[in-house]
Amino acid sequence: MAEKRRIKLTVNGVEMEGEAEPRTLLVHFIRDTLGLTGTHIGCDTGHCGCCTIIMNGVSVKSCMVLAYQAEGADILTIEGLAKDGKLHPIQEAFWENHGLQCGYCTPGQIMSAYFLLSRNPKPTEEEIRRGLEGNYCRCTGYVNIIKSVKAAAEKMSK
């Protein structure tokens, strides 16, 4: 076992720190060390997207990043999206449009949608599909996820 090192970073606007080994994945660091379990693990091979977070303004699959690489980073996870008990419009849209079932993929879907809409506030259906291509969902057939993202884009443009 290699020596552990302290990692400092900002998560959901709060400065946090914790210890990690060189091999510790960022997703494990976020879940196990920082205790933010809203970010999920569905494969740890970079396919499923359950672990998607926003790191320095860009969506990343946090199982594909080492905790060490997040030193000093600014991270947004699903827990940081709702402000003062008020849901983010994307969250509202997922709720209203039944954009989830088991909810396991959902934090990743919402974070990917967040990134997509931050770059492209008025995406076409095709662009939504491309934007969420990296996020698997087994429950919804994607139909209501796409609907939710469309609805979120509308809400946010108001």
Should residue 100 be labelled a site residue for other proteins when binding is judged by CB under 8 A?
yes
Q: Is 14 one of the binding residues for other proteins (CB under 8 A)? A: no
Contact track, ligand FES, 101-120, x by CB under 6 A: xxxxxx--------------
How far apart CA 141 and CA 137 sit, in angstroms, is 7
Question: Applying CB under 8 A, does 128 fall inside the site for other proteins?
Answer: yes
Q: What's the N-to-C CA distance of the chain in angstroms? A: 52
63 binds, among other proteins, ligand FES, none (CB under 5 to 8 A by kind): ligand FES
61-90 binders of other proteins (CB under 8 A): 77-79, 81-82, 87
123 binds, among ligand FES, other proteins, none (CB under 5 to 8 A by kind): none
Q: Supply the DSSP string of 79-140, one letter for each residue.
A: GGTSBTTB--HHHHHHHHTT--SS-SSHHHHHHHHHHHHHH-SS--HHHHHHHTTT---SSS
* 156 touching other proteins, by CB under 8 A: no
**Closest to ligand FES by CB, 61 or 88:** 61
**CB-CB contact of 61 with 134 (8 Å):** yes
